[in-house]
A and B are shown apart, each in its own frame.
Chain A
Amino acid sequence: MKCEIVIQNIDQYFYKGLAELDAETRQHLASCHDCNLHFTNQKSAGDVVKRIADFEPVLKDPADLTDDIMNGLPDADKAPETTKKITPVSIFKSIHLRRALSAAAIILFAVFGTEQYLVLDKINRLETQYQNVPEAKFSRKNLNTLNSWEIRTLRSFNHIKTNKRELFEKINSMANNI
């Protein structure tokens, strides 16, 4: 029997916990020094592991460990908590509600503020444009000479010009409401 196979058999015997070595391997071990040394080393290593397994680790001061465990338990009792009453005051005091209201106020302020700015800015720009438009261009007979953008601007401006006071009143009332 070749040494390689004997070594394999020895490893199987120790690592897989086989009941015993076959007769041929045992015969080889009796005559081969190297294989016998491998067997002895493997057996000794197994004995060391067995000694460690037989050792019973000693827990020192078990009462202290028990106390440490008990002191480390979470404070809250495991018994179900009594149901809290929900009142209008408790809802108002809710931190989540207050945060939600704050967020809503900021969003509303941003939206209406931006809108108001855009409207006022547009009026200012139209007023500036109106001042720069020659009087002649307002006459209906000259409308044919204007391009489409100018016509749109003029119509928009004329609308605002006509209803300027009314528009300002609307804007002011919106601002007051905000």
Chain B
Amino acid sequence: MPFVLQEIIKQIQKGDKNAFRLLVEKYQQTAFRLAFRMLGDENEARDVVQDSFIRIWEKIDTYNENEKFTSWMYRIVSNRAIDSLRAIKRRAGISLEKLHPGKLETGESGADIILENQEAGELIRFISCGLPEKQQLVFSLRDLQEFSSQEVQEITGMTEDAIKSNLYHARKAVRDRLAPILSFERKLS
């Protein structure tokens, strides 16, 4: 069966679970990437993806076909991820000691280092630790997920100015957090 999104969505709106399975198979990886980049934890990201797709199933009737499906899906996923972050409240628990030595290395020597889910997750949690929700959302979408400003507007519903302002403060906080460690590592090497 060829995957034609609008047809699949119409089938789902009629209650077709097989069509919904096709949609899940197609988009669960995409949703997982966003959830992981916001949460920095594989299991929590899986839970968020699961909850998000159940929400999509329940709310598919409210989906407006003039809107990009992925934007609608990302909005649901990011809202769920923020709910999850609120529930966890464990940002302060990530310490420098937990970071793998050398994972912050950059340049030629660090270019060959292959990150794995756990290590990347620790880095994400470390750099986004303590960011306010909106800043974290914008930072994740813009700098980690590398969406355009227009896409971030569609997903978050924020104005361009609000996105710029939140992004500016988030970038500053992240770099201020990383800079001293990088400077220290450079002195050691």
Residues of A participating in the B interface, judged by any CB pair closer than 8 Å:
11, 14-16, 37-38, 40-42, 44-49, 51-53, 55-60, 62, 65-66, 68-70, 72-74, 77-79
Chain B residues 10-57 with CB under 8 Å of chain A are 13-15, 17, 20-21, 24-25, 28-29, 32-33, 36-37, 42, 45-46, 49-50, 53-54, 57
Residue of A nearest to B35 (CB): A57
Residues of B within 8 Å of A74, CB to CB, are 54, 57-58
In the complex, the answer to whether A14 meets B175 with C-beta atoms within 8 Å is: yes
What is the bound-complex CA distance between A77 and B16, given in angstroms?
9
The 4 closest A-B pairs by CB, nearest first: A78-B15, A41-B179, A45-B178, A47-B106
A52-B123, A55-B120 in contact; A69/B28 too (CB < 8 A)?
yes
Which of B28, B168, B180 is A66 in contact with, Cβ under 8 Å? B28
In whole angstroms, what is the CA distance A100 to B26 when docked?
52
A55 cross-chain contacts in B, Cβ below 8 A: 115, 120
Binary interface profile of B, 138-170, with partner A (CB < 8 Å = 1, else 0)? 000001111000000000000000001001100
Q: Which residues of A contact B101 (CB under 8 A)?
A: none
Q: Which of B98-122 contact A (CB under 8 A)?
A: 104, 106-107, 110, 115, 117, 120
Tell me how many residue pairs across A and B have CB atoms closer than 8 Å.
Answer: 117
Contact sample, A vs B, 23 pairs, CB 8 Å cutoff? A41-B175, A44-B106, A44-B178, A45-B182, A46-B175, A47-B107, A48-B127, A49-B144, A51-B106, A51-B115, A52-B115, A52-B120, A53-B144, A53-B145, A57-B45, A57-B117, A65-B46, A69-B28, A70-B17, A70-B24, A72-B54, A74-B58, A78-B13
Closest chain-B Cβ to A58's Cβ sits at a distance in Å of: 6
Q: Which residue of B lies closest to A71 (CB)?
A: B50
- CB <8 Å contact, A14 and B171: yes
Q: Say whether B168 contacts A79, CB under 8 Å.
A: no
A170 to chain B, nearest CB (A): 63
Our pick among A37, A48, A66, A72 for the contact of B104 (Cβ within 8 Å) is: A48
The minimal Cβ–Cβ distance linking B118 to chain A, given in whole angstroms, is: 10
A79 touches B14 (CB 8 A): yes
Instruction: Report how far A47 CA is from B60 CA in the complex, Å.
Output: 39
Distance, CA A70 to CA B24, complexed state (A): 9
Contacts of B20 in A (CB 8 A): 70, 73
Say whether A52 contacts B124, CB under 8 Å. yes
Taking a contact as CB atoms under 8 Å apart, the answer to whether B58 and A48 are in contact is: no
Q: State A72–B57 Cα separation when bound (angstroms).
A: 10
**B106 lies within 8 A of A69 (CB):** no
Question: For residue A46, which residue of chain B has the nearest CB?
Answer: B175
Q: Which residues of A contact B46 (CB under 8 A)?
A: 59, 65, 68
CB distance from B26 to the nearest CB of A (A): 10
CB neighbours of A73 from chain B (8 A):
17, 20, 54, 57
